[in-house]
Structure 1
Amino acid sequence: MILECPQLTWDQVLDYTFLADFNLLHGSQDDIHAHPWANQSLHLYMDSWFKIKQAEEEIRWLNIKICWVITHLHNEQQFLTNMESKVAQVDPPLVFQIRKYHLLQTHFAEQHMQCFQKLAALPGFTGSIKLGVSLNQSLHVEVANLHDVENNAIMYQGLVGDLSDTGNLAGDESDNDSSPKDDDEELHARYRALVTILED
């Protein structure tokens, strides 16, 4: 089978002479293994050099982030402690949840600090495990709107009282000997006992 090819005229050949100005194929007959960029050993040296530079940059960033984490853990502990003391006499159910979360975060922070101390003891460690100064001061601010917390506690107690009254109206066979004050004291006693168990 003979394929028909278009015939080139002399004018077209003269127009195609601009291809000679390109040097894309120049030196294609040379042995590329003789060039420095084709040397495998130089490839390894170059890759190692860039990896070292990247590792140095990563170490600088990690040293900063370690300080961030330690500062955040410390600020969070202070914030939770302040919140416990602020709402302890206002909303016992809320302070129970705060203390429960605080105990969990304390265990979490202790594990991280142990890891940071082991890291700081390694030879060649260039960072610091000292506390920094946080730009976000929200964890340092004490409860400014304590009045709102008191209102929430009053609403909560009122809601519990309404539900108790509804239950007494619905069930005639319920025990009416215990007063709401006794129920609150019993609830607080159970709460204090539960907090003591969690702290131990």
Structure 2
Amino acid sequence: LSYSDITEHSFLGEFDLLHHSCTDIHELDWTKPAHCEATVKYFKLCHAHKEITQLNVEVHQLRTAIHDKAAQMTTVITELLVLDPPLAHELQWQWKAHEAVNA
């Protein structure tokens, strides 16, 4: 019995149900570390696909929010040009710097 044999089967001790089992499960496919690792990688891949789908939704929401904010700021700056030109110019200068980040 080698150290690698012990470590390969150590994860089976994590299942309380197996302590009370009468069946010898050490030779079943799902107990082999390679199968276990493949299963873990499969579920990580499934989660990554779900996360990509969610991020695709969030990207569209972010683009819409950026577009809406730009439209709102343009309207506010246009109105301020009549009411308070110095404030409008300052806001316009600040908005151009902000807009450069969004580009």
TM-score (norm 1): 0.39
Following superposition, the deviation at residue 108 of structure 1 comes to 0.9
Deviations 1:165-200 (A, max 9, x none): xxxxxxxxxxxxxxxxxxxxxxxxxxxxxxxxxxxx
Which letter maps to 1:33? H
Question: Shift of residue 26 of structure 1?
Answer: 5.1
| Structure 2, unpaired ranges of 5+ | 1-18
SS in 2 for 1:33: coil
* RMSD (Å), alpha carbons: 2.2
SS of 1:68's equivalent in the other structure is: helix
SS in 1 for 2:56: helix
Q: How many residues align?
A: 86
Q: Quick one: which of 26, 30, 35 aligns to 1:33?
A: 26
State the Cα distance separating 1:38 from its structure 2 match. 2.0
Q: Could you tell me how far apart the structure 2 residues matched to 1:44 and 1:61 are?
A: 26
Q: Which has the higher helix share?
A: 2
Counterpart check, 1:52 vs 2:25: no
1:22-57 CA-to-partner distances (Å, cap 9, x unmatched) read: xx54549x5x53233320111122012101210111
**Alpha-carbon distance in 2 for matches of 1:69, 1:26:** 53
1:106 alignment partner in structure 2: 99
Give, in whole Å, the separation in 2 of the partners of 1:26 and 1:81: 71
Matches within 5 A, 1:97-176: 97-110=90-103
User: What is the distance in 2 between the residues matched to 1:25 and 1:80?
Assistant: 68
Question: Which aligned segments of 4 or more residues in structure 1 are displaced greater than 6 angstroms?
Answer: none
Which residue of the partner structure matches residue 79 of structure 1?
Answer: 72
Larger RCO, structure (CA 8 Å, separation 6 or more): 1
- Mapped pair 1:94 → 2:83: no
Distance 1:26 1:81, change over 3 A: closer
What is the CA deviation profile of residues 55-80 of structure 1, one whole-angstrom value per residue up to 9, with x for unaligned ones? 11111101101101111111111111
Query: Identity over aligned residues, as a percent?
Result: 21
TM-score norm. by structure 2 comes to: 0.70
Inter-partner Cα distance in structure 2 for 1:33 and 1:86: 76
- Which is higher, the Rg of structure 1 or of structure 2? 1
Hey, what's the Cα distance between the residues in 2 that align with 1:80 and 1:39? 61
CA distance in 1, matches of 2:20, 2:98: 67
